[in-house]
Amino acid sequence: MGNKETIVDPRGPIIFDIRNLWAYYGEKPAVKGVTCKIPEKRVTAIMGPSGCGKTTFIRCLNRLHELSPGARVEGEIFLRGKNILEIDPVVVRRRVGMVFQKPNPFPTMTIYDNVLAGYKLLGIRLRREEADRLVEEALRKAALWDEVKDSLHKRGTYLSGGQQQRLCIARALAVKPEVLLMDEPTSALDPKSTAKIEELVVELKKTVTIVIVTHNIAQAGRVSDYAAFFYLGELVEFGPTSQLFTVPRDKRTEEFLKGKFG
Amino acid sequence: MRSILWRKFKDRSALVVITVLAFLPALPLFHILYGIFRLGLPAFSWNFFTHLPTPPGEPDGGVGNAIVGTLMLSMLASVLAIPVGILSGVYLSEYARGRFGEVVRVAADVLQGVPSIVLGIVGYLWLVRPMGHFSALSGAVALSLMMLPVIVRSTEEILRMLPYTLREASLSLGVNYWRTVIKVLIPTGLVGITTGILVALSRIMGETAPLLFTAFGNPFWNFNPLQPVDALPLTVFKYAISPYQDWIRQAWGASAVLTLMVLGLNLISRILARRLSGDGK
Ligand SMILES: Nc1ncnc2c1ncn2[C@@H]1O[C@H](COP(=O)(O)OP(=O)(O)OP(=O)(O)O)[C@@H](O)[C@H]1O
Ligand SMILES: [Mg+2]
């Protein structure tokens, strides 16, 4: 079990305060008693071998986990001091956006409508200029504007995989979330698109907190300020990336970083 | 040497036999189409489409009322079956876990196997008896019971085919499940769902049995759903068994109209289905 010395509280403002979080599929726990604090406007990387509960963990943070059949969550997750397990999940998901492993733009919508999906699907009406402005702003933030500004009214699915993933980032950013969860956002992409998304992640932390799951240790090293290491559902170690990478406090973290498993 | 030749010969003949057999189901279809159009098309005329039926021997009779009736019945049946069918399909694919879903699913399958004349009796019991007279509405109810299982199962299958990531994309934007169904899943599966509806429609348009004790038939113009109406299959049925030459000629004509309608629907659903599998990624 992760003990006090291996879980280091971040300095500066905290956005998520997670206390003794357990997440189950049926009777089987996939996240076991995780306690940690996620720093605001920083990139936090979630690492660990396959099946250790990384995806399950971040899906608790926007309450997507509970939609899996038989899923259950215990513990507390404070988002700016309010336990999100006690507020309407729909509200939580507006504040905590998510980008998935495989790009998933809406196939029936244009690029423009995809970006505005967070408004259109909820029936929120926008004035034309406001909509245009939101689309441009989100696409610029997602570093996609220059590539698509002349084809905004084409289907989102016509874009390349990497572009589709940035479109999904733009879609998540358009509703102005406080946190952006990313579950291995580059694992389905080529190296060039991956580099682009990594750059983007570093750029985005100026305005939004990022929690990114990654299988790629080097990627965690490049983009993250803080890193968490999960093993068999437990949070083994949490701390500044530089510290965790150079002087890991737990033997399992060290072995993982050396490529012993995963 | 001989044995190789012999095997080759067997191989060849098997291919020929299979090809011929494969063509066999198409043969009656072409024969029917040929027969219907050869005997039916000559009956087509302006009057045929726009006039009311006339007594045998009187010229210029038509099946205008039956065409109107068939369209009315199809439309009413669609109005009844489409919303219910889509909603049950959505329920089965998105919400049904466990026993109740299984019950609905089995019910749809059983309904699909119920003989159409029995559905006619259902329409009779539900509406004709209480109302005291035949009506288009009762016929449409019987027909909608035929459409229902087709729409339910095709909607369910289409929605199940949509990837879970599509639902997640919407849910993660703070859209609730119901809106996700209405605004994302149904539009994404729309082509497939529409195809299912057209298949269901083309199945019911040619049905006679469910209409015998419901819509009943009506030799006059009727646009009121609460009154009996004529329908093309009823016309075919009545005229084809009559001894009169020109009624029999018109029965062929009515068959041709019906066949064209069904072929048209099939064609549209095929085009849609092609779009679904083609660029519908
Ligand atoms: N829908 C589910 N139903 C039941 N068990 C599940 C489900 N999803 C995941 N699990 C189990 O929960 C555990 C954690 O899974 P999770 O997907 O969170 O791991 P992960 O760290 O994201 O793995 P990966 O690196 O392969 O993505 C695994 O043992 C997995 O088998
Ligand atoms: Mg995962």
Residue B137, domain CATH: 1.10.3720.10
Query: DSSP characters for B46-108?
Result: HHHHHSPP--TT-SS---HHHHHHHHHHHHHHHHHHHHHHHHHHHIIIII--SHHHHHHHHHH
Q: How confident is the model at residue B277 (pLDDT cuts 50, 70, 90)?
A: low
Q: What is the CATH number of the domain that holds A246?
A: 3.40.50.300
Structure pTM? 0.86
**Cα B199 from Cα B157, distance rounded (Å):** 14
* Per-residue pLDDT tens over the stretch B52-95: 999 988 888 999 999 999 999 999 999 999 999 999 999 999 98
Q: How confident is the model at residue A2 (pLDDT cuts 50, 70, 90)?
A: very low
Residue A68 has phi, psi (to 5 degrees) of -70, 145
Number of domains in chain B: 1
Q: Does some domain include residue A15?
A: yes
Cβ contact A93–B172 (<8 Å): yes
Q: What is the residue-averaged pLDDT of chain B?
A: 92
* Model ipTM value: 0.92
pLDDT, residue B25, reads: 87
DSSP H helices, chain B, are 2-23, 26-40, 46-50, 64-90, 99-113, 116-123, 129-131, 136-161, 164-171, 177-180, 186-205, 232-240, 245-277
Residue with the smallest CA separation from ligand 1 atom 22 is A55
For residue A47, pLDDT over 90 is answered with: yes
Q: Does some domain include residue B29?
A: no
For residue B272, pLDDT over 90 is answered with: no
Cβ contact B175–A122 (<8 Å): yes
Q: Does some domain include residue A60?
A: yes
Helix (H, G, I), strand (E, B) or coil at A231: strand
Q: What is the residue-averaged pLDDT of chain A?
A: 94
pLDDT, residue B98, reads: 76
pLDDT, residue B248, reads: 94
Number of domains in chain A: 1
Domain membership of residue B135 as a residue range = 63-280
Contacting residues of A for B173, CB less than 8 Å apart: 93-94, 97, 117-118, 121-122, 171-172, 175
Q: Does some domain include residue B122?
A: yes
Among A21, A24, A25, A213, the mutation site with the greatest number of ligand 1 atoms within 8 A of its Cβ is: A25
Domain membership of residue A99 as a residue range = 4-104+177-257
pLDDT, residue B106, reads: 93
Residues B140, B69 contacting (CB under 8 angstroms): no
**Cα A12 from Cα B104, distance rounded (Å):** 56
For residue A103, pLDDT over 60 is answered with: yes
* Per-residue pLDDT tens over the stretch B93-108: 998 877 888 999 999 9
* Per-residue pLDDT tens over the stretch A165-221: 999 999 999 999 999 999 999 998 999 999 999 999 999 999 999 999 999 999 999
